[in-house]
């Protein structure tokens, strides 16, 4: 049998890794194709903020799930200490004493191959399959392959493959800057964002695409307007525009759920609602939306709380909470009696704008004969005193 072995830290596994694996399958047609994440890489320490070895396994299962025949193996994770390829090959050689082993590697690994631990043992027991990592490195790879063949009798195959579009170290930096989404499988990116690995922050166009799937089509315009208003308010009052945009994009993601569905979501995510909250079904989407935003997109506590209070308000709100409450109230598609006052005040005196919006809400509920939610009344009293 022909057994291909593709190891690495895969921190994170990106589309270049998957494309390299696909080239291995197409050109070598291995009978067994093992993807083996390192436990602890022998030549470097894991970057700060990296997921655990088991979590990288999860990412690898997602990243390589569409590669024919690929099996993600935990054999290096089950060994303690640093992960040396020679030890892995020794294990495989015991299991497959007569079969061909093929080590898959990037071009930088081939160029430094003589520095590997027990590299001569590897050449005695394995063929090498090399994937180009950078544009224009083929001549140097050919020269190195000929050198290893002549000196050690190595069997080296250079795979026809476009250079990998990114390196994991560069990608980790991009993720902190809300970039790099195009370099990752969507399931991998979603998992990273959900768990906050690599200190990753969601790219906003990706986040919009995900959030809009939860909305009634008629509500998308409101959310778009709320985001633009929140960003303008954030820039005016000194809040981070990206935080305001994230909160606005996600603030209504459970709005279209009915009362029973809202309660089910509360139960699923362990969110406890008071009797007063249950008596006002229209505000439940703020509670469940905050929970779902944490669960699906790993938002910070500050963003979650802004979503939580965007409908009722509360006393002593943070700047982000004020911005989302007002953006939801005054965004450009809003057209109802009383909106112009808070809209005009929002960029001059944010607390006065809040007080007026809260008062308008309380007056409207009174006219409708509805009991106001206590948090709204308390918020109005608070900001009236502040003014």
Helix boundaries (H) for the chain: 15-28, 53-63, 85-95, 107-111, 119-125, 138-152, 168-176, 186-195, 204-212, 217-237, 241-250, 259-268, 275-278, 284-297, 301-308, 319-330, 340-345, 350-367, 374-386
Q: What's the pLDDT at 135?
A: 65
The CATH number of the domain where 332 resides is what? 1.10.3210.10
Q: What percent of the chain has pLDDT over 90?
A: 74
Q: What's the pLDDT at 338?
A: 92
Give me the number of domains the chain comprises. 2
- pTM of this structure: 0.91
Q: Is residue 16 part of a domain?
A: yes
Q: 99 and 228, same structural domain?
A: no
Q: 151 and 245, same structural domain?
A: no
How far apart CA 179 and CA 190 sit, in angstroms, is 13
Question: Which domain covers residue 151, as residue numbers?
Answer: 2-166
Q: 120 and 219, same structural domain?
A: no
Q: 209 and 159, same structural domain?
A: no
The CATH number of the domain where 73 resides is what? 3.40.50.620
Residue-wise pLDDT for 223-270, tens only, equals: 999 999 999 999 999 999 999 999 999 999 999 999 888 888 888 877
Cα 3 from chain centroid (whole Å): 33
Residue-wise pLDDT for 8-22, tens only, equals: 999 999 999 999 999
- In this prediction, residues 123-146 reach a mean pLDDT of 87
321 or 131: which leads in pLDDT: 321
Q: 276 and 215, same structural domain?
A: yes
Q: Is residue 20 part of a domain?
A: yes
Residue-wise pLDDT for 347-367, tens only, equals: 999 999 999 999 999 998 888
Q: Is residue 222 part of a domain?
A: yes
Q: Is residue 153 part of a domain?
A: yes
Tell whether the model's pLDDT for residue 275 goes beyond 90.
no
Q: Is residue 179 part of a domain?
A: no
Among the candidates 116, 141, 166, a domain finishes at 166
Q: Is residue 370 part of a domain?
A: yes
* Residue 81 CB burial class (10 angstroms; 0-12, 13-18, ≥19): exposed
Q: What's the pLDDT at 369?
A: 80
Q: 258 and 378, same structural domain?
A: yes
Q: 215 and 112, same structural domain?
A: no
Tell whether the model's pLDDT for residue 173 goes beyond 90.
yes
Q: 235 and 151, same structural domain?
A: no
Q: Is residue 6 part of a domain?
A: yes
Q: 53 and 113, same structural domain?
A: yes
Residue-wise pLDDT for 146-165, tens only, equals: 999 999 999 999 987 776 66
- In order of 12, 105, 145, 356, the CA distances from 165 in angstroms are 13, 15, 23, 53
Q: Is residue 138 part of a domain?
A: yes
* Residue 217 CB burial class (10 angstroms; 0-12, 13-18, ≥19): exposed
Q: What's the pLDDT at 385?
A: 87
161 touches 134 (CB < 8 A): no
Q: Mean pLDDT score of the chain, rounded to an integer?
A: 91
Q: 14 and 105, same structural domain?
A: yes
């Amino acid at each position: 049998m022909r057994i291909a072995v593709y190891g690495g830290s895969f921190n994170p596994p990106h589309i270049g890794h998957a494309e390299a694996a696909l080239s291995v399958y197409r050109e070598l047609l291995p009978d067994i194709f093992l993807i083996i994440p390192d436990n602890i890489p022998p030549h470097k320490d894991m970057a700060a903020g990296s997921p655990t070895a088991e979590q990288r396994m999860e990412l690898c299962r997602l990243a390589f799930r569409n590669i024919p025949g690929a099996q993600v193996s935990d054999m290096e994770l089950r060994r303690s200490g640093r992960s040396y390829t020679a030890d892995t090959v020794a294990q495989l050689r015991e299991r497959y004493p007569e079969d061909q082993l093929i080590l898959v590697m990037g071009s930088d690994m081939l160029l430094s191959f003589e520095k590997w631990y027990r590299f001569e043992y590897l050449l005695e027991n394995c063929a090498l399959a090399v994937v180009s990592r950078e544009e224009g490195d083929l001549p140097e790879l050919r020269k190195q392959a000929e050198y290893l063949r002549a000196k050690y009798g190595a069997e080296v195959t250079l795979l026809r493959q476009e250079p990998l579009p990114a390196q994991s170290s560069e990608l980790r930096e991009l993720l902190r800057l809300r970039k790099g989404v195009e370099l990752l499988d969507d399931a991998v990116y979603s998992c990273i964002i959900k768990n906050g690995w690599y200190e990753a922050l969601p790219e906003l166009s990706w986040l919009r695409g995900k959030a809009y799937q939860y909305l009634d089509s008629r509500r998308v315009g409101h959310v778009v307007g709320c985001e633009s208003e929140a960003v303008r308010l954030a820039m005016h009052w000194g809040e981070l525009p990206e935080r305001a945009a994230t909160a606005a994009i996600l603030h209504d993601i459970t709005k279209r759920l009915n009362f029973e569905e809202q309660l089910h979501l509360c139960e699923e995510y362990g969110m406890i609602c008071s009797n007063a909250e249950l008596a006002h079904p229209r505000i439940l989407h703020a509670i469940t939306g905050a929970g779902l935003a944490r669960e699906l997109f790993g938002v910070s506590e500050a963003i979650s709380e802004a979503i939580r209070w965007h409908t009722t308000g509360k006393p002593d709100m943070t700047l982000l909470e004020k911005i989302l409450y007002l953006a939801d109230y005054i965004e450009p598609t809003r057209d109802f009696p009383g909106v112009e006052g808070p809209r005009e005040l929002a960029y001059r005196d944010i607390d006065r704008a809040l007080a007026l919006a809260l008062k308008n809400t309380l007056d409207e509920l009174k006219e409708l004969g509805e009991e106001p939610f206590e948090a709204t009344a308390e918020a109005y009293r608070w900001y009236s005193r502040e003014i």
